Amino acid sequence: MNLEQLQSFVAVSQIGPFTRAAEQLHLAQPSLSRQIATLEHDLGAELFHRARGHIRLTDAGEKLLPLARRMLAECWPT
């Protein structure tokens, strides 16, 4: 797990579709998808329910989100 993966995870959770989140992060959509897939693999849990373009957090994703936000805030203060 790395900060870029956490940033991607938070972006998708806030923005929604991977395509829009990728645009916001200035990434190609396949790159963003790979980051999320790697994060899910590393954590051993699915973070999003994906269905027909709709994205919502799983229970694991709901638990990770506040931690990811806190980690990003501590590492990349605004």
pLDDT tens-digit series, residues 23-63: 999 999 999 999 999 999 999 999 999 888 789 999 999 99
Give the pTM: 0.92
The span from the CA of 30 to the CA of 18, in Å, is 9
What are the structural domain ranges in the chain?
A: 3-75
What is the band of 78 on the pLDDT scale with cuts at 50, 70, 90?
low
Say yes or no: domain 3-75 is CATH 3.30.9.10.
no
Place of tokens 């994906």: 50
